[in-house]
């Protein structure tokens, strides 16, 4: 049973446009959400996070939106750059449980 | 600043062989984790250690054992490797606390023939 779902395996956008990556979750106990970026042959690196007490968190070109009622979060990248091309993982954890549950990832390709 | 260091980077084993994947972190983190990444499966937790002296099973622990040697080091052992354990293995560490993200190493690519 997949508790964190990224339904789009891949996404392609033009440089300068907005990239929107989506993530859905099923576990109501999740209260903290993170996005990681992964380049080939490297480990995932932390990008941005959001607590369930917020509905938006922004860091430079990256914004994460959380809709608790829909159990949905999204990562917006504006403007997209070719260096943003990577696999993006959504992850979640809940309460005192600090283990992260990951989605399967979305491969973002930003075309020059 | 090394962060999380994993050795080896690559390994090829024959079915039935054993090996230990090493992981060390220099960030004074309390918690450490082992994940595996398979195509189309995302990252799945094998074992974790909340603090020195404790270890617990994750989502896919069968066929693996772990040792939290000290606060810095957390090793993953395959006693009898199987082709199904062909994967990329990532070690990670974090502080306690909800807002503490995991920091990952660069992975060990293991092939079992």
Side-chain-side CA neighbours of A84 within 13 Å: the count stands at 27
Size of interface A-B (CB pairs under 8 A): 58
Instruction: Say if the Cβ atoms of A103 and B58 lie within 8 Å.
Output: no
Closest alpha carbon within chain A to B102 = A46
Instruction: Say if the Cβ atoms of B96 and A32 lie within 8 Å.
Output: no
Q: Tens digits of per-residue pLDDT, A23-82?
A: 999 999 999 999 999 999 999 999 999 999 999 999 999 999 999 999 999 999 999 999
Q: Which residues in chain B have Cβ-Cβ distances shorter than 8 Å to A46?
A: 101-103
pLDDT tens-digit profile, chain B (113 residues): 679 999 999 999 999 999 999 999 999 999 999 999 998 888 999 999 988 889 999 999 999 999 998 999 999 999 999 999 999 999 999 987 767 889 999 999 999 99
Tell me how far the alpha carbon of residue A102 is from its chain's centroid.
Answer: 10
Q: Which two tokens stand for residue B99?
A: 């807002």
Instruction: Give the closest residue to A74 by CA, choosing from A61, A65, A82.
Output: A65
In a mutational test of the B interface, the residue from A6, A51, A102, A106 whose CB has the highest number of chain B CBs within 10 Å is A102
Instruction: Say if the Cβ atoms of A99 and B100 lie within 8 Å.
Output: no
Instruction: Give the closest residue to A34 by CA, choosing from A99, A108, A107.
Output: A99
Instruction: Give the closest residue to A42 by CA, choosing from B104, B100, B27.
Output: B104
Side-chain-side CA neighbours of A5 within 13 Å: the count stands at 10
């Amino acid at each position: 049973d997949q508790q964190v779902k990224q339904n789009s395996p891949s996404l392609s956008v033009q440089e300068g446009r907005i990239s929107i990556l989506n993530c859905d979750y099923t576990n109501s106990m999740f209260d903290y959400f993170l996005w990681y970026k992964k380049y080939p042959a490297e480990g995932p690196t932390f990008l941005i996070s959001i607590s369930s007490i917020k509905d938006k968190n922004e860091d430079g070109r990256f914004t994460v939106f959380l809709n608790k009622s829909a159990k949905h979060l999204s990562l917006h990248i504006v403007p997209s750059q070719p260096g943003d091309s990577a696999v993006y993982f959504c992850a979640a954890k809940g309460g005192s449980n600090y283990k992260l549950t990951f989605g399967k990832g979305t491969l973002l390709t930003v075309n020059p | 600043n090394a962060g999380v260091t994993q050795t080896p980077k690559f390994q090829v084993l024959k079915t039935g062989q054993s090996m230990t994947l090493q992981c060390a972190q220099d960030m004074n983190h309390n918690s450490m984790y082992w994940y595996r990444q398979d195509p189309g499966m995302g990252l799945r937790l094998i074992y974790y250690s909340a603090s020195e002296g404790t270890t617990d099973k994750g989502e896919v622990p069968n066929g693996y054992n772990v040792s939290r040697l000290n606060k810095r080091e957390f090793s993953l052992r395959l006693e009898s490797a199987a082709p199904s354990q062909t994967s990329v293995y990532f070690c990670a560490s974090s502080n306690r606390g909800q807002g503490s993200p995991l920091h990952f190493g660069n992975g060990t690519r293991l092939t079992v023939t």
